[in-house]
Amino acid sequence: MILRLRENKDEGSRCPFCNQLIKAPESIKTEGSEFIGGRCDCGTVYACDPTGHNVGEAYLDALSYVCGDDWNVFSSLSPDENYREAVFNYDLKTNRSWKVKDIRRDYSGKIVFVKMLKKDK
């Protein structure tokens, strides 16, 4: 059984947090590096690993970018407390994504989404 994130296969990938269509990832230069990714209108940041072999690096790129390259903020983050993440299989050529069944056995490209959570005051 194939799980689909959307009914219209031609429309592209959607943000998992707000369901908006996302732009295809592009080259982004930061203070310390360069990566392929983007930002959704809702504030979610995404990074792409076209090979599926460097998902950890894409995850760190997305976290760093969402923090504005502020390593003090970056080092103090905790998953589910400060941010949420989602990882999907991804085809950079078509800008299509689908659910990951087993990340250890699937070597297609990946897209990592990171959404900062609002702090209660």
Q: Which tokens belong to 31?
A: 């203070």
4 inside domain:
no
Q: Which helix (H) or strand (E) holds 115?
A: strand 110-116
Question: Could you give the number of structural domains in the chain?
Answer: 1
SS3 53: coil
Would you write out the chain's pLDDT as a tens digit for each of its 121 residues? Answer: 333 444 445 578 999 999 999 999 999 998 878 999 999 999 999 999 999 889 999 999 999 999 988 888 888 999 999 999 999 999 998 899 988 776 556 668 999 999 999 865 4
Q: Classify residue 8: in a domain, yes or no.
A: no
Model's pTM, two decimal places? 0.83
Residue 30 lies in a domain: yes
Q: Are the C-beta atoms of residues 88 and 111 closer than 8 Å to each other?
A: yes
Residue 69 forms part of a structural domain: yes
Q: Which residues pair with 36 in a beta bridge?
A: 27
Secondary structure of residue 114 in the 3-state scheme: strand
What residues make up the domain containing 48? 26-116
pLDDT score for 33 = 83
The per-residue pLDDT for 56 is 93
The DSSP string of 74-104 is HHT--BTTTEEEEEEEEETTTTEEEE-S-TT
What is the per-residue pLDDT for 32? 76
pLDDT of residue 102: 63
CA pseudo-torsion sign 46, 47, 52, 53: negative
Evaluate whether residue 121 is within a structural domain.
Answer: no
